[in-house]
């Protein structure tokens, strides 16, 4: 039996505070690995390939979250900006709903509490976010 290698790309408009959680919930635990690329991330093709090939159940590239700080430097933080969650890690979450129904600014940390420890990839990905 041949395994399909087709990749589907979904583009969600996330204007409301909880739209990000709703969008992830529509794709979560459907029998496929899930890669998240937020709108302000600028990944290189090699970074996407690296996440795709990584054997870890949950992995993400580091990126800046302020002028002088990357998310991996914050104790307990998880970055979803450029991340991949294998199907098994999604399905293993026992809490319901599997994707917490929280505003976008809390989603990464709340989801990170339910997933295996994130495997961090370096160097940091480009994050086009304006910091004051």
As a whole number, the mean pLDDT across the chain is: 93
Provide the 8-state DSSP code for 1.
Answer: -
Quote the pLDDT of residue 1. 53
Q: Spell out the residues 6+ positions from residue 27 whose beta carbon is closer than 8 angstroms to its own.
A: 10, 34
33 burial type by CB count under 10 A (0-12 exposed, 13-18 middle, 19+ buried) = middle
Reported as a single tens digit per residue, the pLDDT across 44-85 is 999 999 999 999 999 999 999 998 999 999 998 999 999 999
List, as own/partner pairs, every contact residues 46-50 make where C-beta atoms lie below 8 angstroms and the sequence separation is at least 24, other chains included.
47/82, 47/121, 47/125, 50/121
């Amino acid at each position: 039996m041949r395994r399909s290698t087709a990749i589907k790309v979904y583009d969600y408009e996330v204007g409301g505070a909880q739209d990000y959680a709703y969008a992830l919930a529509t794709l979560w635990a459907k029998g496929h690995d899930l890669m998240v690329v937020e709108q302000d991330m600028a990944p290189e093709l090699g970074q996407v390939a690296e996440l795709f090939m990584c054997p870890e159940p949950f992995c993400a590239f580091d990126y800046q979250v302020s002028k002088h700080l990357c998310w991996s430097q914050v104790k307990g933080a998880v970055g979803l900006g450029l991340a991949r969650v294998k199907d098994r890690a999604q399905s293993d979450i026992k809490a319901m709903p599997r994707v917490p129904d929280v505003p976008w600014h809390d989603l990464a940390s709340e989801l990170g509490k339910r997933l295996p420890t994130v495997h961090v990839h370096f160097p940091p990905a480009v994050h086009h976010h304006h910091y004051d």
